[in-house]
Structure 1
Amino acid sequence: MPDTPLPAPPAGLLDGASLFLDFDGTLVELAERPDAVAVDDGLRALMRRLAQRLDGRVAIVSGRPAGQVQALFGDDGMTVVGSHGMEFRWHDGRVRVADRPEGLAQALAAMHALADRTPGMLVEDKPLGAALHFRMAPGAEADAQALATELAARHNLHLQPGKMMVEVRAAGGDKGAAIRTLMSEPELASTRPLFMGDDHTDEPGFEAAAALGGAGILIGAPRPTNAIYRLNDVQATLAWLEAACGSAA
């Protein structure tokens, strides 16, 4: 991961590409609570224009549950990959979801016990994982990390750090594997993958995009990354996507 300044993505990068987008911190600002995020009409319209620009070769690849992302966008018929590559909901109605791990019930109970004695800490129950959010309890980060590490080892779960949160989830998938699966679809196979994301959980996606002849675009402050382009923040991302919609070759 080179630690050198990255350029902004050039105009026309979408030509001949398939576009994969992280959600939180990329298309919408991070919120104190996962349920505080909303999708406005402008973002819905932008996603429709991107789908038209790329003949449907657009997907959201998120750590959130796929059904939750679809509900936020409404019935727009887009492909969504959720739970860090463990849930696929294609635009044509196909669904592929991994089995819920047996140890999640016990992990959730332990997380709730910690949250009950930690003001501001939140527990998120996902279809394939359980997360502790400490954005409103930053002093409890060490406790959250220690508990999640213990639970992952005890219940054979994958430990997934994130921005002001830590998650234990079903093992076996990541955003890189998700992009490889999406790119195996016949209508995408001859295109270049572009993946835009802000978090360390997006690094496997950047790596996969590059390996398949495409590129990763980091959203946020500079840091060592597998991405080769960078945009400053959510607003810069939305502005670049809007401009890209009108820059057909």
Structure 2
Amino acid sequence: MASPSSLPSPPPLADLLAAGPVALFLDFDGTLVEIAPEPGDIHVPDSLADALHRLHERLNGRFALVTGRALDDLASHLGEVTLCRAGSHGASRLLPDGSRLGDEPEALSADCVSELRAYAEMHDLFYETKSHGGALHFRARPEKARATLDFAHEVAERHDLCVTSGKGVAELVRPGADKGGAVRAFMAEQPFTGSMPIFIGDDTTDEDGMAAAIEFSGFGIAVGERDSDAARYHLEDIAAVHKWLDL
């Protein structure tokens, strides 16, 4: 596992593009916008959507947002973008025209949601409703991290679900809902096919996306101070990401 300080900065994007077709897959929270104590509190610059559309054009459409957020939640912050995007950790995927890529994932059962809500209320945590999952946020209560993760795994086992854990959150999702699946799905479609994928992310949930990029002879870029098994390069923070992408 590599620490950020041991990883070099990536080559300039312009140099990579000059060498051949490149596909970019970008995480959202912690990569393009600052993480907030609660998901609804993020600040998204008014210029970001237009900048991402310009990046989409620069890459000839080989660009996708891959986020843990549900896509309707992403739209509430970024607007209705005409970009490839995958929400709910890659399980729900849309093409630029809004058409779906693959099947729509199934939501959590009412019983499962009730359990998660009750736990959040009992332990003063924030429960985030998602169209294809549910998340217990303990960023404001870090002392609850271990117990919350243990509870999430116990609920997941009973409901045949999986747990993805990131910065201050335990999220329950359907099996197979990971960012690597989104990368593989888009890479099977034009105009992504035959390009070199790069996955950029700040959290452990982005490791799957980076691993999938490696499968297609690409690589991952870790953002911020975290260890990484899959990243080849490192960018210090969100400002460095924006600068590298020329947003």
Same fold (TM over 0.5): yes
- Amino acid across the alignment from 1:9: P
Matched, 1:170 2:171: no
Tell me if structure 2 keeps the 8 A contact 1:69–1:80.
no
2-structure distance, mates of 1:42, 1:105: 38
Instruction: Give the one of 62, 68, 71 matched to 1:63.
Output: 68
RMSD of the alignment, in Å? 1.7
Q: Is the 8 A contact 1:118 1:137 kept in 2?
A: no
After TM superposition, give the deviation of residue 98 of structure 1 in Å.
3.3
| Partner-residue secondary structure (3-state), 1:193 | strand
Hey, what does 1:116 align to over in structure 2?
121
What is the number of equivalent residue pairs in this alignment? 241
Q: Return the alpha-carbon distance in structure 2 between the equivalents of residues 136 and 97 of structure 1.
A: 35
* Aligned structure 1 segments of 4 or more residues deviating by more than 6 angstroms: none
Give, in angstroms, the shift of residue 169 of structure 1. Answer: 1.0
Alpha carbons of structure 1 residues 194 and 140: separation in structure 2 relative to 1, 3 Å: same
Give unmatched runs, 5+ long, in structure 1: none
1:140 is the counterpart of 2:140: no
**Per-residue displacement from partner, 1:186-241 (whole Å, max 9, x unpaired)?**
21112111110011111111111112011111101152321101001111111111
**Match in the other structure for 1:90:** 95
- Whether the 8 Å contact between 2:202 and 2:226 is mirrored in structure 1 is no
Q: Is the 8 A contact 1:104 1:130 kept in 2?
A: no
Tell me what 1:228 maps to.
232
Q: For residues 149-196 of structure 1, what are the alpha-carbon distances to aligned partners after superposition, in whole Å with 9 as ceiling and x for unaligned?
A: 110011111111111010111112311121011011121112111110
Partner amino acid for 2:95? W
Look up the match of 1:13. Answer: 16
- What secondary structure does 1:125 align onto? strand
Secondary structure of the 2:217 match is coil
Matches within 5 A, 1:1-249: 1-2=1-2, 5-11=6-12, 12-15=15-18, 16-95=21-100, 96-101=102-107, 104-119=109-124, 121-242=125-246
Q: What TM-score results when the alignment is normalised by the length of structure 2?
A: 0.91
Contact 2:23 2:192 in 1 (8 A): yes
The residue identity in structure 1 corresponding to 2:104 is A
Partner Cα distance (1:2, 1:34) in 2: 28
Q: Distance in 2 between matches of 1:14 and 1:180?
A: 21
Aligned equivalents of 1:231, 1:224: Cα separation in 2: 12
**In structure 2, distance between residues paired with 1:164 and 1:46:** 29
